[in-house]
C-alpha cells in the first residue's frame, strides 16, 4: 500500500522552521542518521548517547542491519548521514557509486568465534564437521558470512583438521542469515547446533547461553570496519562529529568495552 502525504502535511516541518526564525529562534537541528553494521548495535548506541550529550538538541538515530542491506538502501536514496560497514567491500561499493564523501577511515576491527548452545555437545572445531550437525552462518554477501567461509578454508588441513574440513562444515549449513544477530539468535534458541559470529556479539547477555569455541589465530580473520560521511548527508556537521568521536580516545575505549579491537593509530 502506498501512502500519499498531503502537500500541507509535508510542508509542516519547513513552516515550523520559518516560524521559529520569525520569532528569533534557531530552527531545530536536523537529526543525525547513522547506518551501521548489526555487530555495532551496542557500542554505537552508547556512542550515540554520548554525542547527544555533547551536542544538545541533536537526535541520533541508527539503522542496524547487514552491511550489504544498508549499502543497497543508501544506493537507492535512503537519507543517511554516516555509513559504518563491517568490511571494506560494501564501503568500496558506495565509493564507486560516488556516494561517499572523502576517504573512509577504519575505526575498529573484530575477530571470529564459533558459538554453540550452552548445553550442546559441540565442544571442539572438529565437531562442526560431524554429519547431521546443524550449522548456521550469515550469507556470503554479509561480511561475517564471507569471513566465516575464509576461516573455514584456512582451517582445512591445519591443526589436525582434515583437508576437506571446510567443505564438510559447509555441507552442514542449514541457513544463511542476513546479519550476524540472526545467527546469534538461532544458536541461542537452539535452532542450530553451532554458528560463526564476531567475538563482540557474545555480549554479557548472550554469554551465559552459549559455549564459545576459539578459532586459532593463524586461521582467524580480522574484520576491518570502515566509516565515512555520505555525500548526500542531510546533516554533515553532526556526521563529521560522529566520525571524529569514533576515532577519538573516548570512542575507542567505548568500542573496546564492547570487545571490538582498536583501530591502528587511534
Q: Using one digit for the tens of pLDDT, what is the confidence trace for 78-120?
A: 999 999 999 999 999 999 999 999 999 999 999 999 999 999 9
Res 20: pLDDT: 41
Q: Is 145 exposed, middle or buried (0-12, 13-18, 19+ CB in 10 A)?
A: buried
Q: Which residue has the cell 558506495?
A: 94
Does residue 3 register a pLDDT over 60? no
The angle subtended at Cα 24 by Cα 56 and Cα 238, nearest 5°, is 30
Look up residue 127 and give its three cell numbers: 565437531
Res 6: pLDDT: 31
Res 107: pLDDT: 97
Report how far residue 23's alpha carbon sits from residue 200's, in angstroms, rounded to the nearest whole number. Answer: 48
Q: Which domains does the chain have, with CATH numbers?
A: 7-109+225-262 (3.40.190.10), 112-214 (3.40.190.10)
Mean pLDDT value of segment 188-216: 96
Q: Would you give the DSSP letter of residue 79?
A: -
Q: Predicted confidence band at 30 (pLDDT cuts at 50, 70, 90)?
A: confident
Res 23: pLDDT: 53
Q: Would you give the DSSP letter of residue 137?
A: E
Average pLDDT, the chain: 90
Contact partners, residue 264, CB within 8 Å, separation at least 6: 106
Amino acid at each position: 500500500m502506498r501512502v500519499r502525504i498531503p502537500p500541507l502535511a509535508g510542508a509542516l516541518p519547513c513552516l515550523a522552521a520559518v516560524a521559529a526564525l520569525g520569532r528569533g529562534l534557531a530552527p531545530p537541528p536536523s537529526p543525525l542518521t547513522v547506518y551501521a553494521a548489526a555487530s555495532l548495535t551496542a557500542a554505537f548506541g552508547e556512542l550515540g548517547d554520548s554525542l547527544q550529550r555533547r551536542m544538545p538538541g541533536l537526535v541520533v538515530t541508527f539503522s542496524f542491519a547487514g552491511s550489504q542491506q544498508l549499502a543497497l538502501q543508501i544506493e537507492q536514496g535512503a537519507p543517511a548521514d554516516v555509513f559504518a560497514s563491517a568490511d571494506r567491500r560494501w564501503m568500496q561499493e558506495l565509493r564507486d557509486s560516488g556516494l561517499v564523501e572523502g576517504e573512509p577511515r577504519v575505526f575498529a576491527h573484530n575477530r571470529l568465534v564459533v558459538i554453540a548452545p550452552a548445553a550442546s555437545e559441540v565442544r571442539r572445531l572438529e565437531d562442526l564437521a560431524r554429519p547431521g550437525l546443524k550449522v548456521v552462518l550469515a550469507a556470503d554477501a554479509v561480511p561475517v558470512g564471507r569471513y566465516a567461509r575464509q576461516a573455514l578454508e584456512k582451517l582445512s588441513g591445519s591443526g589436525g583438521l582434515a583437508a576437506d574440513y571446510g567443505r564438510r562444515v559447509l555441507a552442514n549449513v542449514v541457513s544463511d542469515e542476513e546479519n550476524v544477530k540472526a545467527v546469534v539468535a538461532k544458536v541461542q534458541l537452539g535452532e542450530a547446533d553451532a554458528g560463526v559470529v564476531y567475538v563482540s556479539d557474545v555480549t554479557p547477555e548472550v554469554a551465559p547461553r552459549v559455549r564459545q569455541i576459539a578459532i586459532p589465530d593463524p586461521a582467524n580473520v580480522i574484520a576491518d570496519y570502515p566509516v565515512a560521511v555520505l555525500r548526500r548527508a542531510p546533516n554533515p556537521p553532526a556526521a563529521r562529529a560522529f566520525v571524529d568521536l569514533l576515532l577519538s580516545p573516548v570512542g575507542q575505549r567505548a568500542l573496546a568495552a564492547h570487545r571490538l579491537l582498536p583501530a591502528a593509530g587511534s
